[in-house]
C-alpha cells in the first residue's frame, strides 16, 4: 500500500512539474490590477506590453489611440449612450480581407472591413495646458529705428533760455512673435493662448536695465505667428532752449529681436468620429452609423477605460479630467519691445564750439548751469 501511495505522489509531481517549468520561463501575461493601477499613476515605469510609442509624435498618438478608442467607448456607459449603443451592439472592427476553405475544398471570401478609423484619429490636434504664460526671452540684438524730430528752436542771438512746448507725436510699428514645436503641437486650440514676454533694454548707465512688456495672443491653429500694431507716443511736454545756439529735441526708438524656449504640458482636445455600429453576434452587417464629437473629458474616459496602461508620454489629470502630453517644449522668436527716449542736440552759434548730444535731463541741467 505504501508503495502504491508513493507511486501516485510521484505521478502528481510529474504532472505539476511542466507547469512550474512554464511559469519559470518567459511566458507573457497581462498586468494584474495592482500593476495596472501603478502604471496609470506613473506611466513611464511600465513594461511596454502594448508596443506603444516611447515619445510623443503625431504618428505615435494616432497608433496608440487606435488601440484604445473602440474599447474605451464601449467600456464607458456615457459614451455608449452618445453612440447609441444597445446592450447587444458594439462598434465594428476594421479587418483585412480573409478567406476560409472547409474540408470539402469550398472557399468563402470575406471582404476587408475599413472605414478610415486611423485617418479620423490623425486629426487630433494637441494643445497646451493653460491660457497664459510669462516667459523671459533672450535678446539677440537691438535695432535703432532712427530719430523722430519733435521740435527745433533757434536761439542763436538770445541771452536767456527760451521755453516752448513739444507737440505730441506718435509713431506706429508692429510687434511679431512666431513659435514652433518639433512634434507639431499647437497653441490656441479651444482657447486663446496669451504669451507675455519681458524684454530687457540695457541703458548703459551703472548696469541699469529697463524691461518692456509685450503680449502675443494665439487663437487660430492655422498660423503660428502673432502680429499686432504697437504705438510709441512722445507726449507733449515743456522744454527749454539755451541761448547762443539751436536746440533740437528728437525721439529715439530701439526695437529688440528676441528668441527663447518654454516648456509646459499639453492636453488632448476633442475629436469628431463617425463609427459603424453592428450586432455583437454579427460583425459584418452595419445596423446604424453614428457621428459624435468627443470632448477632452471623453478622451480622458477612453484612455482610462480602454487599456489598463498608458503610453509613457501621456498621463491622466484626474482633477480636470483630461489626458496630458507631458513636457511639451516650444521655441519662439520675434521682435518688439520698442524702448523710446528723448535726446537733445545743441549746435552752438560759435563755430569754434562743437555740437553736443545728450539726454533731456542733462541738457536742462547744463542750460541752468550755463555750461553749454
Interval 303-341: pLDDT, tens: 999 988 899 999 999 999 999 988 888 999 999 999 999
Residue 276 domain flag: yes
pLDDT value of residue 308: 86
Interval 181-237: pLDDT, tens: 888 788 877 678 899 999 998 776 545 678 899 999 988 667 899 999 999 999 999
Interval 112-162: pLDDT, tens: 999 999 999 999 888 787 788 899 999 999 999 999 999 999 999 999 999
Interval 20-49: pLDDT, tens: 333 333 333 334 333 343 334 434 444 566
The mean per-residue pLDDT over the stretch 76-98 comes to 96
Domain that holds residue 65: 58-96+112-126+269-316
pLDDT value of residue 221: 65
Q: How confident is the model at residue 346 (pLDDT cuts 50, 70, 90)?
A: very high
Q: How confident is the model at residue 51 (pLDDT cuts 50, 70, 90)?
A: confident
pLDDT value of residue 38: 38
Q: Is residue 248 scored above 70 in pLDDT?
A: yes
Whole-number percent of the chain with pLDDT over 90? 64
pLDDT value of residue 220: 67
pLDDT value of residue 326: 84
Instruction: Indicate the average pLDDT of the chain.
Output: 85
pLDDT value of residue 34: 37
Residue 82 domain flag: yes
Count up the domains in the chain and report the number: 1
Q: Is residue 294 scored above 50 in pLDDT?
A: yes
pLDDT value of residue 35: 38
Residue 44 domain flag: no
Residue 230 domain flag: no
Q: How confident is the model at residue 263 (pLDDT cuts 50, 70, 90)?
A: confident
pLDDT value of residue 352: 94
The mean per-residue pLDDT over the stretch 240-269 comes to 93
The mean per-residue pLDDT over the stretch 245-267 comes to 93
pLDDT value of residue 305: 95
pTM attached to this predicted model: 0.66
Q: Is residue 269 scored above 50 in pLDDT?
A: yes
SS (H, E, C) the chain: CHHHHHHHHHHHHHHHHHHHHHHCCCCCCCCCHHHHHHHHHCHHHCCCCCCCCCCCCHHHHHHHHHCCHHHHHHCCHHHHHHCCCCCCEEECCCECCEEEECCCCCEEEECCECCCHHHHHCCCCCEECCCEEEECCEEEEEEEEEEEEEEEEEECCCCCCEEEECCCEEEEEEEEEEEECCCCCECCCCCCEEEEEEEEEECCCCCCEEEEEEEEEECCCCCCEEEEEEEEEECCCEEEECCCEEEEEEEEEEEEEEEEEEEEEEECCCEEEEEEEEECCEEEEEEEEEEEEECHHHHHHHHHHHCCCCCCCEEEECCCCEEEEEEEEEEEEEEEEEEEEEEEEEEECCCCCCCEEEEHHHHHHHHHHCCC
Amino acid at each position: 500500500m505504501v508503495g502504491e501511495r508513493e507511486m501516485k505522489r510521484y505521478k502528481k509531481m510529474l504532472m505539476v512539474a511542466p507547469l512550474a517549468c512554464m511559469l519559470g520561463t518567459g511566458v507573457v501575461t497581462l498586468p494584474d490590477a495592482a500593476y495596472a493601477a501603478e502604471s496609470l499613476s506613473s506611466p513611464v515605469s511600465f513594461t511596454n506590453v502594448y508596443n506603444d510609442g516611447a515619445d510623443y509624435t503625431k504618428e505615435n498618438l494616432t497608433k496608440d489611440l487606435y488601440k484604445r478608442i473602440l474599447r474605451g467607448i464601449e467600456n464607458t456607459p456615457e459614451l455608449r449612450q452618445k453612440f447609441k449603443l444597445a446592450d447587444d451592439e458594439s462598434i465594428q472592427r476594421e479587418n483585412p480581407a480573409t478567406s476560409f476553405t472547409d474540408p470539402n475544398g469550398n472557399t468563402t471570401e470575406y471582404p476587408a472591413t475599413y472605414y478610415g478609423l486611423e485617418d479620423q484619429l490623425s486629426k487630433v490636434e494637441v494643445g497646451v495646458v493653460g491660457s497664459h504664460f510669462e516667459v523671459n526671452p533672450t535678446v539677440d540684438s537691438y535695432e535703432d529705428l532712427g530719430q523722430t524730430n519733435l521740435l527745433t528752436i533757434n536761439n542763436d542771438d538770445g541771452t536767456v533760455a527760451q521755453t516752448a512746448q513739444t507737440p505730441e507725436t506718435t509713431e506706429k510699428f508692429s510687434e511679431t512673435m512666431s513659435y514652433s514645436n518639433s512634434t507639431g503641437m499647437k497653441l490656441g486650440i479651444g482657447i486663446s493662448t496669451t504669451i507675455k514676454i519681458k524684454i530687457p533694454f540695457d541703458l548703459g548707465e551703472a548696469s541699469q536695465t529697463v524691461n518692456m512688456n509685450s503680449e502675443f495672443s494665439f487663437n487660430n491653429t492655422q498660423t503660428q505667428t502673432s502680429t499686432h500694431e504697437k504705438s510709441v507716443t512722445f507726449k507733449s511736454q515743456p522744454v527749454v532752449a539755451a541761448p547762443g545756439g539751436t536746440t533740437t529735441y528728437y525721439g529715439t526708438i530701439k526695437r529688440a529681436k528676441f528668441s527663447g524656449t518654454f516648456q509646459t504640458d499639453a492636453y488632448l482636445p476633442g475629436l469628431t468620429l463617425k463609427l459603424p455600429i453592428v450586432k455583437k453576434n454579427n460583425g459584418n452587417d452595419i445596423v446604424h452609423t453614428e457621428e459624435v464629437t468627443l470632448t477632452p473629458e471623453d478622451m480622458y474616459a477612453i484612455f482610462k477605460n480602454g487599456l489598463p496602461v498608458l503610453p509613457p508620454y501621456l498621463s491622466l489629470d484626474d482633477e480636470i479630467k483630461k489626458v496630458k502630453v507631458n513636457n511639451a517644449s516650444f521655441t519662439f522668436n520675434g521682435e518688439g519691445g520698442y524702448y523710446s527716449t528723448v535726446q537733445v542736440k545743441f549746435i552752438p552759434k560759435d563755430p569754434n564750439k562743437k555740437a553736443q548730444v545728450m539726454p533731456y535731463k542733462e541738457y536742462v541741467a547744463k542750460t541752468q548751469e550755463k555750461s553749454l
